[in-house]
Amino acid sequence: MTLNTTKSQEIFAAAQNLMPGGVSSPVRAFKSVGGQPIVFDRVNGAYIWDVDGNKYIDYVGTWGPAICGHAHPEVISALQAALDKGTSFGAPCVLENVLAEMVIDAVPSIEMVRFVNSGTEACMAVLRLMRAFTGREKVIKFEGCYHGHADMFLVKAGSGVATLGLPDSPGVPKSATSGTLTAPYNDLEAVKALFDQNPDEIAGVILEPVVGNAGFIPPDAGFLEGLREITQENGALLVFDEVMTGFRIAYGGAQEKFGITPDLTTMGKVIGGGLPVGAYGGRRDIMSMIAPAGPVYQAGTLSGNPLAMTAGIKTLELLRKPGNFEYLEKITKKLSDGLLKIAQETGHQACGGSISAMFGLFFTAGPVHNYEDAKKSDTAKFGRFHRGMLERGIYLAPSQFEAGFTSLSHTEEDIEATLAAARDVMSNL
Ligand SMILES: *Cc1c(COP(=O)(O)O)cnc(C)c1O
């Protein structure tokens, strides 16, 4: 099968002279799957159209935000109305209160929230706050988890770092990461050992409560509970990075789904409904340390701007309607179960699963409990699978090490069409 992507190729060729690698974020490149990125023209509902006029069913959803479907008419008209009042105030606006209240109502552990412009910013700020509150400098993260591109998190990171096989990044000073300790995901013993080796020095543990940046890896039974106990015993903070899982694994995020209450939470993606928003929040006593209420400095010219707040508010209003998460769970499980069954019937070793609107498929027998397990996947096979699906009008994240996303716009028919394409591709892999 061939896909006519002449215009995409021309635009991307020009982009490569203008921007490093031709992209504004490395995960958009097709480095690990071969071929060239598709240049989009427009998005709507569950679909995207490229500049050559090809239509695809989209399972990237702009990397998470599009949980109500792309360009939802109610989000677009709310934005058009907001636009008439201006794009940025740089001063308080009531929309911040509205979204803050929605976040506090939705997410069990959050008593106060600060808005920023990206997940990266939220994670940077939360780390400073963890250190300030505890008076300790070290922090534990997990191999394959991604917490944005700030220096101190670029140690055994997931997402593009994993896809491109970059273990760490040049330009990150040793001093910035000397306090970053790492453990394999789902390994409580490793975490206990780090606490034993660094008594009274660890500010806290930060993790993706369901991993999406090393492919889709759910927490083993007892893992999140164990982390809650270990951190409490050691006077350290537990931080859920829910930039991906927030408002996706459940309306109240993974913490609602699993019933574990972290001290602090970071958010992004869905909370901005496709505009740049990040947030961090948690216990009132900790959040009260943020300037100007307290001494921990963190600021942002465009933070809480009315357009971004509007897209977030409208998206959450649409999302919280009854039945939505049941629907997301149902179609995503249908997709995930279908993919596994097809892989088995066509003779491919594969494992994977889904929770709510997040799913993953690894080309390895599994089970996958951590990044080491994920790395056993046949990435060359994934590349061929990705290409075959693309040619049949299915847009998947261009990496074995990224989770897939569904939305309220995906229909049963979309899922069936996707499975039919997968059967076709896997039969000839
Ligand atoms: C995407 C992501 C980030 C970074 O968010 P950006 O908005 O891309 O800066 C941080 N943590 C997790 C878990 C993410 O999925």
Cα separation, 47 vs 55, whole angstroms: 7
Same domain, 59 and 83: no
Q: Distance from the CA of 63 to the center of ligand 1, in angstroms?
A: 9
pLDDT at 84 over 90: yes
pLDDT at 1 over 70: no
The two tokens of residue 261 are 């209450």
Q: Please, what is the Cα angle at 72 between 241 and 415, to 5 degrees?
A: 75
Identify whether 404 is part of a domain. yes
Which ligand 1 atom is the nearest neighbour of the CA of 120?
9
Same domain, 66 and 108: no
Q: Distance from the CA of 123 to the center of ligand 1, in angstroms?
A: 8
Cα separation, 162 vs 146, whole angstroms: 9
CB of residue 27 inside a 6 A radius of ligand 1: no
CB of residue 268 inside a 6 A radius of ligand 1: yes
The domain boundary, picked from 284, 319, 354, lies at: 319
pLDDT tens digits for range 384-395: 999 999 999 999
pLDDT at 2 over 80: no
Same domain, 303 and 337: no
If one counts the domains in the chain, the total is 2
The two tokens of residue 173 are 């000073």
What's the pLDDT at 167?
63
Classified as helix, coil or strand, 54 is: coil
Classified as helix, coil or strand, 384 is: helix
Which ligand 1 atom is the nearest neighbour of the CA of 241?
13
Q: What is the average pLDDT score of the chain? A: 96
**Atom 15 of ligand 1, nearest CA residue:** 244
Q: Any idea which residues carry the catalytic annotation?
A: 146, 241, 269
CB of residue 242 inside a 6 A radius of ligand 1: no
Q: Distance from the CA of 49 to the center of ligand 1, in angstroms?
A: 25
Q: Distance from the CA of 268 to the center of ligand 1, in angstroms?
A: 7
237-241/264-267 β-pairing = parallel
What's the pLDDT at 83?
97
Q: Do 67 and 319 touch, CB atoms closer than 8 A? A: yes
Number of C-alpha atoms within 13 angstroms, CB side, residue 120? 10
pLDDT at 417 over 80: yes
Please name every residue paired with 45 in a beta bridge, in sequence order, or none if there are none. Answer: 70
Cβ partners under 8 Å of residue 358, min gap 6: 210, 212, 216, 244, 245, 248, 249, 332, 403, 404, 405
Cα separation, 29 vs 23, whole angstroms: 7
247 DSSP assignment: T
DSSP run (H or E) holding 390 = helix 379-391
Same domain, 67 and 85: no
User: How confident is residue 155, by pLDDT bands cut at 50, 70 and 90?
Assistant: confident
The pLDDT of 235-251, averaged and rounded, is 98
Identify whether 1 is part of a domain. no
E strand segments, 242-379: 264-267, 278-282, 351-355, 358-362
**Atom 6 of ligand 1, nearest CA residue:** 119
CB of residue 66 inside a 6 A radius of ligand 1: no
Same domain, 384 and 401: yes
Same domain, 200 and 51: no
pLDDT tens digits for range 170-229: 899 889 999 999 999 999 999 999 999 999 999 999 999 999 999 999 999 999 999 999
Same domain, 257 and 313: yes
Mutate to test the pocket of ligand 1, among 23, 208, 243, 277 (most ligand atoms within 8 A of CB): 243
Q: Distance from the CA of 223 to the center of ligand 1, in angstroms?
A: 22
Least confident of 135-149, 155-169, 262-276, 336-350: 155-169
Identify whether 43 is part of a domain. yes
CB of residue 401 inside a 6 A radius of ligand 1: no
User: How confident is residue 169, by pLDDT bands cut at 50, 70 and 90?
Assistant: confident
The domain boundary, picked from 268, 291, 319, lies at: 319
The two tokens of residue 381 are 């096979």
What's the pLDDT at 285?
98
Q: Distance from the CA of 369 to the center of ligand 1, in angstroms?
A: 21
Same domain, 154 and 295: yes
The domain boundary, picked from 263, 284, 319, lies at: 319
What's the pLDDT at 162?
73
Same domain, 229 and 365: no
CB of residue 265 inside a 6 A radius of ligand 1: no
CB of residue 153 inside a 6 A radius of ligand 1: no
Q: Distance from the CA of 277 to the center of ligand 1, in angstroms?
A: 11
Identify whether 186 is part of a domain. yes
What's the pLDDT at 347?
97
pLDDT tens digits for range 290-321: 999 999 999 999 999 999 999 999 999 999 99
Cα separation, 36 vs 390, whole angstroms: 11
Identify whether 408 is part of a domain. yes
pLDDT at 406 over 90: yes
Which ligand 1 atom is the nearest neighbour of the CA of 244?
15
Percentage of the chain modeled with pLDDT above 70: 99
What CATH number does the domain containing 67 carry?
3.90.1150.10
pLDDT at 159 over 90: no
CB of residue 119 inside a 6 A radius of ligand 1: yes
Q: Distance from the CA of 242 to the center of ligand 1, in angstroms?
A: 9
The range of the structural domain enclosing residue 249 comes to: 73-319
Which ligand 1 atom is the nearest neighbour of the CA of 25?
8
Same domain, 134 and 208: yes
What CATH number does the domain containing 299 carry?
3.40.640.10
Peptide bond just before 367 cis, omega within 30 deg: yes
CB of residue 208 inside a 6 A radius of ligand 1: yes
Number of C-alpha atoms within 13 angstroms, CB side, residue 85? 13
Which ligand 1 atom is the nearest neighbour of the CA of 276?
7
The pLDDT of 324-344, averaged and rounded, is 98
Same domain, 243 and 326: no
Which ligand 1 atom is the nearest neighbour of the CA of 242?
13
The pLDDT of 16-43, averaged and rounded, is 94
* pLDDT: which is higher, 241 or 172: 241
CB of residue 246 inside a 6 A radius of ligand 1: no
Same domain, 276 and 199: yes
CB of residue 244 inside a 6 A radius of ligand 1: yes
What's the pLDDT at 146?
96
